[in-house]
Structure 1
Amino acid sequence: MDKKLLNSPQHSDEGTDSFVAEMFLKNALLEFKREKIRKEIDQTLLEGNKELFLKLTEELKKIC
């Protein structure tokens, strides 16, 4: 019988590690895209570009 120590590193399944890494990367990329669009929206407000503002807000809604 294997004993698992509370503070020792545990070997996890490679599939689980890959899944967690993929989810982490997808989340980081999504957050990067959101922030980029928000900055672009701020710029359109400063410039008064209503058409681009509406386009960007729709894009942001789709990924939120």
Structure 2
Amino acid sequence: MDKMKVSYEVLLGLAAEMLLDEAVLKFRTDKLYAAIDTALASGDKDTFQRLTDELKSLHV
């Protein structure tokens, strides 16, 4: 029974880690989209390029 409890705890830990990773990814993506919009509105081509490259690297 202890072995099953350990397995369950490991799976629960992995699920929590995956949930946290997904939340961080969504937060960072949302921040990048907002910054990209700002760069577009101000006509800052270099910042736009840098931010879109960073966004692409998040989803590889």
Alpha-carbon distance between aligned partners in 2 of 1:22 and 1:51, rounded to the nearest angstrom: 35
Q: Which runs of 4+ in 1 moved over 4 A?
A: none
Write 1 or 2 for the structure with the bigger share of helix: 2
| Structure 1: 5+ residue stretches without partners | 1-10
Query: Once the 2 structures are TM-superposed, how far is the Cα of residue 38 of structure 1 from its aligned partner?
Result: 0.4
CA RMSD after TM alignment: 1.3
Name the structure 2 match of 1:25.
20
Identity over the aligned pairs, expressed in percent?
A: 39
| Structure 2: 5+ residue stretches without partners | none
Alpha-carbon distance between aligned partners in 2 of 1:20 and 1:62, rounded to the nearest angstrom: 24
